[in-house]
Structure 1
Amino acid sequence: MQLVKKFLPYYKPYIGVFLLDLLCASILSVIDLAFPQFLRILRATLFLEAPDIILKRLGLIALLLVLMYAIRSLCRWYVTYQGHMMGAKMESGMRRDLFDKFEEFSFSYYDSHNTGEMMSKLVSDLFDISELAHHGPENIFISVVKIVGSFILLIRINVPMTLCLALVVVCMAVFAIFQNKKMRTTFRDNRKKIAGINSSLQDTLGGIRVVKSFTGEEIEKSKFDDSNIAFLDSKQANYRQMAIFNSGNNFFEGLMFITVLVAGGFFIAKGQMTGEDLAIYALYINIFINPVNVLVEFTEQLQKGLAGFERFIEVVETRPAIVDKENAAELKDVKGVIDYENVSFSYENDEAVLSNINLHVDAGKSVAIVGPSGGGKTTLCSLLPRFYDVTGGRVKIDGTDIRDVTQKSLRSFIGIVQQDVYLFNGTVKENIAYGRLDATMEEIVEAARNADLLEFIESLPNGFDTQVGERGARLSGGQKQRIAIARVFLKNPPILILDEATSALDNESERYIQESLDKLAYGRTTITIAHRLSTILGADEIIVLDEDGIKERGNHKELIKKGGLYEKYYRMQLGGI
């Protein structure tokens, strides 16, 4: 019931369509109930008249029946079309809500959740919810009207026989409720297992180049088979419970017919019922059993929908790890002064990555961070745009704690160029303009020129309208990196983070890219995470960071003179001064 209460508000925007859908459904039910009763009335009245009177009135009756079934057809059209569209719109709205929620989550959520599983919640789970949203109330309403209506009419024909029938229905309901609980468990497990298949598929296809380069096809087939067989086992358990459910209900359905036959024969023998009444009674039994079957089939749909909605609610009700304060201000007129004051950070259930880090960067200055892998370099930079929140201390920009301003305004003043460049499946122009959709073509061209990318783009068959492929698959590493640099040039932020932006490039590409990065960094407050020390020799300050914190700081010449850890790294890479 808690899930149902959370589900109902999604009908609110479509309340008019929903009520009209139920009205049409009720008309369908009433017309279906009316025909046997109409036949019973005619048998007791008109069909006892003289043949010429019957023939005289038959045309009018036929016209009324045609009109009645024309109305029924219009109602069926509305229920089928508008009812389904209502469900589709609700599905679309839920998918938007779920996607918006995914967008709210910080990096920590994505560190612990698989993309394939999230896609499963966005697509397959919501389809089942859509079907439930449309067919659920409609099927329940139609079935209840038909069952109650036919039950009343059956009582009017013969009370004792109808009470016998009611006893069978009660037994059927008890069985259905008991079996329902088992089915829900299996449907919930189905959802988890299909998410496992999506996760395995996404992981394999996303890393297909690694798979092929290491001839790992058999490994991936084995992993996929494991998740696929797990899903098959889950479906087997599900279908076993469904088979018990459906066969049990079919047995009770048979008991209804047996009850009518035996009880009907008994009451006819006792003179308490006529053969004609038993025939009409049999017609109503079909009307009575049909909605019972609909409810039985709806049970499967209900369990699928609720299992999907349960997973949907789990995400929607998850509170993002990083949220804006209620009174968060807009960050404005940033100069670029950065302060890390006694900053500590640790991931959930992990040891501290950073402890009591103090760092001051003046506006327009450049700071490079070097050190071993796992020393916290990328984490330190990720705290500045609040991709993660500090667990101790504070980070400030121009003297303002970044937790006191909105995330959107904070990140609008920070540009990031990473080692692993992500390009979206679209054109060169769309990827450069990402984040600045209002940029003019002249601004996009200027950004490409500043990134030394213009000549390459003009050599492409379609220029700026050339498709880059998924993740930029049609471009080289250096070309993708230049697009990323052009993207930041267009954003024109006062603060720049360069996260090992050239470490994956060859020496020649690195030299050209470094020139573009130097041009990009000019006049901006820049924090550079460097693997290749040759790229940071001109930094105003170099920070040597390891798991114990800041070990050394100073410019290149000062650190070389110290003969410490930096000097050791430098000699290892460059072979001396």
Structure 2
Amino acid sequence: MESASDNGGSEQSSSSAQSVLQTAQVLYPVVLLLTFIISAGIHTIVTSKTEEELATPTVTGPGGKPLPITKRRRRHQASQIDDDANTRGFAWSVFLYLTAAIIVSFVANGAAAAVHAMKSSRDAGFTHVWWCGEQRIVYIVGSAFLYLYVLITLLEWRESPTLVHGIFWVLGLAGETIILLASAVTISDGGYLTYLADSNSDSDLEFWDILDLGIAGIRVCILIILVSLYGAIARKRLEERRFLDEEAQRSDSDEGSPLLGANSDDEGRVNGHARRNIQYGSTTRDPRRDSNIRPNEQGTPQQDNEAAFYRSDKIPHKTWFEYCRGYSVFFPYLWPSRSSRLKGVVVLCFVIVILQRVVNILVPAQLGVVTDIFEKRNIDKVWFELGLLILYKLLQGPSGLLGSIRSILWVPVSQHTYRALTTAAFEHVHSLSLDFHLGKRTGEVLSALNKGASINQFLEQVTFQVVPMLVDLLVAIVYFYIRFGSLYALFVSIITFYYLYLTIRMGATRADQRREMVNADREEEAVKNDSIMSYETVKYFNAERREFDRYGNAIKKFQDAEAKVTYGINHMNMCQSVVFMCGLLVALLTCGYQVSRGDRTVGDFVLLVTYLNQLQGPLNFFGTFYRTVQSAMISGERLLELFKIQPTVVDKPGVEALKECNGHIKWNEVGFSYDKRRTALQNLSFECKPGTTTAFVGESGGGKSTVFRLMFRYYNCREGSIEIDGHDVKDVTIDSVRGFIGVVPQDTILFNESLMYNLKYANPSATDEEVFDACRAAAIHDRIMSFPDGYSTKVGERGLRLSGGEKQRVAIARTILKKPKIIMLDEATSALDGETEQKIQSKLISGKFGEDRTLMIIAHRLSTITHADQIIVLHAGTMVEKGTHQELLALNGRYTAMWEKHCRAERAAEHARDATRKAKKLLSQANLGNDGYNSMLSSAILPTAPHSPVTTADEARDTDSVSSHTSDSTSSGSESTLQDDAPENGEGGPNKPAESARPPLYSYPSESSAGRSTDASISP
């Protein structure tokens, strides 16, 4: 009895141990894989958060969310590199070899099982088939492939081995220990690790079991060494990094900055490249200063605003979490939070996606049922099952009924997200300050603005294709485990895992090739656009062949890069097919063998084939998607960079609008600099009373345009204050200040619309009669009416169909329509003749349009500002003289020297015009026309050279320089085109003698000595 009881207890103990062993063998690779994936994801998130804490981003994006930082190399990173080099020395090699030894041990287990099977089958005369058990096959094959991937990560991951590997080895040691102990208990109780199809035992079984047990023991020893070695290295790393962190805290190094921040060195270089010398520089944001004080108020120079729009040769290394965190800035625009209807549509679309996943399982399962019915020839049930199969097929796929309904429902959601994202980007660009627009590359900004559609499409693909694809793969593994067993689940897992890994790995290695192709494509477009835009320049220099060659070289460079990408794609497709077909072959051979033995039905085989083929579609899509995701990431990065740029001049919190304005301007010791190394304005103080005219003169770069830009609040002054009617402009809103100021810039830009549209742009509610009155005041109404389409005339891109003088007069009329209290003219009449300029200014000053308006003028022709109430002379950013015209002449200073030079230039210009008229008259009398030159007639008519008027050396030099300019401006053609103004009347009359009397030095030049229109043609 006791013996029987002992035998029963032994059998129960052996059965329990064997049950634990089989369960552990199945769960071992599954638990290790899930642990590795989860720990890797958590490690990525924790590492990213640590870096974010070291360098908290101060730039916010849409929705007020902090934007991700750009990691910049730390000053102590060299020590980390040395640490990595040491780690990847002897110890790193030990990790590699030990992990490879574990893989070899599993291969040895598999080889032992194969040899055992062949030997047992041969000894039994091939009448009995030995089978080691499905659980053991899953354990050996799954663990071998899993440790193979771990070995690959040791080779590829930076700073490997990481904590993820340490956790994996510890858990692997625990699992191997459990399997070893369960195996030992099974053998000691008389059980066997192997399984024989018949009940006959074999004396060799003990040898095979002991062999497997010995290999398992070796594997446990290797894992103990791995865990111990990693623990020692991890402790050393922790101590070194703690020391380096303490070093970093003592230094003033900045661990990170926004992507647009520039790391400049002492030689004026930004990000390793020479700094662009932009006159109106930009200012950087300093997070250490008060949040209410903007960078420009502190005068901090901004390094380079276009740094975000470079075309890098390599894609920056980022983890998946960093990408998700970066793209999260777009989510507030993509989610229809304000529309309950659209939110309901989104929920319904997700329900449809879930139903599609269910249908994907039902189709192959139903096909297997129909196959079994046909095999059994049960015709009565086949019609109903066939109907279900047809219904499921009708619902399946993106083009099926469910997919089509989902696509139709998603249209308004997609339109909402596109509209929200693109309008937000467009509004953001308009909200940026002038410093960005002066330094930007228009093509790059427009390219970034156009990425809203690609981001919308990319996120839609992720939501409705990538995530469902991953769900399908996970469901397939679970379904195969339930329907076919753990062995088939292992096959699907290996196929899926290594297919995805191969796609990602090969796609990543070819990322630089794709970036090279994208850059070459942009370069080709740039060359083409540049050549077409410079059409006239190409013709001037007969450079067509040079342009053809340049464009051809750009195309060749693009095609070379494209060929590399195409070769890489085809290579990846072949590798993907090999991986999938190998897995499919093994699964089909196994299932076919089981069908031949009667263990499975033909329907099971059809189900297996159908489901695996169905999985090939999502896997192939992932390969295609991953190739396109790189371009989408580039697009998203560029738009994200655009969102990162913040305006440098913004309203203070809680400021009120300037409700009324009388035009009283006061500057109090204003100081400003675009770059802290060079001062633009210094201690500038002046006052402009309402209704007065203030003119600013001085050499180029003296600070005149800077005064206007500070006045219009393109920038904030660094020192002092600017007041309008007693209000500091910083204490009122920017829009309210600009609403009372009208600006006529030197370079007028018009929209490619009609003249009426451009004129009413300043005041859309203005009537046509008000537009006509403003154009009459700007001396442009008659000219517009002479055009075939009048005010409906299209002005062309940037107004290029109009001449310079016409554009300036349109700009003046547009400013008049705005009805501002302060008018600023920045060389606004430089392309007009003196008479027209005086007429316009007289109407702006004393006419009905100039009543109670404060006028600020920048002019180089001093004769046009002698009427000003005060003239401010600027030199190197400081005010050197101030007063009326007569007061400044009495000072006999810088303004006097400028006036004398101006008078000499006017006299020289008049002499040049007189000489031109005489020459034309004499050439006409000499019969120099279309019939050619007649020497017999001309010799009797052409006089000898007249005596030149006596001039000083300085006057002669001024005469030469101005004469050449005047001859160019007066030799324009007289074709009646949109680019030519009408000829001035009264151009004829008696010629003034060459020896005309010199006007008084300080007198105002007469109308006859005023410069003629530079945009009017002169008839002979």
Amino acid at match of 2:898: Y
Q: CA deviation at 1:283?
A: 1.0
Q: Distance in 1 between matches of 2:370 and 2:386?
A: 12
Does structure 1 residue 280 correspond to structure 2 residue 603?
Answer: no
1:485-500 aligned at under 5 Å gives the runs: 485-500=812-827
Which residue number corresponds to residue 755 of structure 2? 428
Which residue number corresponds to residue 328 of structure 1? 655
1:28 pairs with one of 356, 359, 380 = 356
Q: CA deviation at 1:165?
A: 3.3
Which residue number corresponds to residue 474 of structure 1? 801
Which residue number corresponds to residue 930 of structure 2? none
Does structure 1 residue 551 correspond to structure 2 residue 880?
Answer: yes
Highest RCO, 1 vs 2 (Cα 8 Å, sep ≥ 6): 1
Question: Structure 1 residues 251 and 229, CA, compared in 2 at 3 Å: closer, same or farther?
Answer: same
2:855 pairs with one of 518, 521, 526 = 526
Which residue number corresponds to residue 292 of structure 1? 619
Question: Does structure 1 retain, via aligned residues, the 8 Å contact 2:826–2:857?
Answer: yes
Q: Distance in 2 between matches of 1:271 and 1:10?
A: 58
Which residue number corresponds to residue 890 of structure 2? 561
Q: CA deviation at 1:494?
A: 0.7
Amino acid at match of 1:17: V
1:6 pairs with one of 329, 346, 370 = 329
Amino acid at match of 2:480: L
SS in structure 1 at match of 2:857: strand
Q: Identity percentage over the alignment?
A: 29
Amino acid at match of 2:469: S
Question: Does structure 2 retain, via aligned residues, the 8 Å contact 1:494–1:524?
Answer: yes
Question: Structure 1 residues 274 and 77, CA, compared in 2 at 3 Å: closer, same or farther?
Answer: closer
Question: Structure 1 residues 398 and 118, CA, compared in 2 at 3 Å: closer, same or farther?
Answer: same
Amino acid at match of 1:150: A
Does structure 1 residue 139 correspond to structure 2 residue 465?
Answer: yes
Which residue number corresponds to residue 490 of structure 2? 163
Which residue number corresponds to residue 810 of structure 2? 483
Question: Does structure 1 retain, via aligned residues, the 8 Å contact 2:334–2:420?
Answer: no
CA deviation vs aligned residue, 1:147-203 (integer Å, no higher than 9, x gap): 233333333134313313322322233333434544556666666666666666666
Question: Structure 1 residues 135 and 208, CA, compared in 2 at 3 Å: closer, same or farther?
Answer: same
1:143-222 aligned at under 5 Å gives the runs: 143-155=469-481, 156-182=483-509
Question: Structure 1 residues 268 and 299, CA, compared in 2 at 3 Å: closer, same or farther?
Answer: same
CA deviation vs aligned residue, 1:7-36 (integer Å, no higher than 9, x gap): 433331154333333333333343343222
Question: Does structure 2 retain, via aligned residues, the 8 Å contact 1:116–1:196?
Answer: no
* Bigger Rg, which one: 2
Q: CA deviation at 1:397?
A: 0.9
SS in structure 2 at match of 1:352: coil
Question: Structure 1 residues 143 and 234, CA, compared in 2 at 3 Å: closer, same or farther?
Answer: same
Question: Structure 1 residues 248 and 44, CA, compared in 2 at 3 Å: closer, same or farther?
Answer: closer
Which residue number corresponds to residue 455 of structure 2? 129
Question: Does structure 1 retain, via aligned residues, the 8 Å contact 2:371–2:602?
Answer: no
Q: CA deviation at 1:109?
A: 0.5
1:382-421 aligned at under 5 Å gives the runs: 382-421=709-748
2:639 pairs with one of 312, 316, 320 = 312
Question: Structure 1 residues 195 and 340, CA, compared in 2 at 3 Å: closer, same or farther?
Answer: farther
Which residue number corresponds to residue 314 of structure 2? none
Which residue number corresponds to residue 339 of structure 1? 666
Q: CA deviation at 1:273?
A: 4.1
2:868 pairs with one of 539, 555, 559 = 539
Greater shift, 42-51 or 371-380, is seen at 42-51
CA deviation vs aligned residue, 1:39-63 (integer Å, no higher than 9, x gap): 2123334763554x25xx62x5555
Question: Does structure 2 retain, via aligned residues, the 8 Å contact 1:485–1:516?
Answer: no
SS in structure 1 at match of 2:335: helix
CA deviation vs aligned residue, 1:455-481 (integer Å, no higher than 9, x gap): 333333333322222222332322222
Does structure 1 residue 43 correspond to structure 2 residue 356?
Answer: no
Does structure 1 residue 103 correspond to structure 2 residue 430?
Answer: yes
Q: TM-score, normalised by structure 1?
A: 0.89
5+ residue gaps, structure 1, are: none
Q: CA deviation at 1:325?
A: 0.9
The structure whose residues are more often helix, as a share, is 1
Amino acid at match of 1:28: Q
Q: TM-score, normalised by structure 2?
A: 0.52
1:365-384 aligned at under 5 Å gives the runs: 365-384=692-711
Q: CA deviation at 1:5?
A: 2.8
CA RMSD of superposed structures (Å):
3.1
1:16 pairs with one of 344, 349, 364 = 344
Question: Structure 1 residues 572 and 413, CA, compared in 2 at 3 Å: closer, same or farther?
Answer: same
Greater shift, 356-365 or 68-77, is seen at 68-77
Q: Distance in 1 between matches of 2:835 and 2:536?
A: 24
Q: CA deviation at 1:439?
A: 2.3
5+ residue gaps, structure 2, are: 1-323, 337-341, 905-1000, 1003-1020
Q: CA deviation at 1:405?
A: 1.1
Q: CA deviation at 1:305?
A: 2.0
Question: Structure 1 residues 567 and 426, CA, compared in 2 at 3 Å: closer, same or farther?
Answer: same
Q: CA deviation at 1:385?
A: 0.9
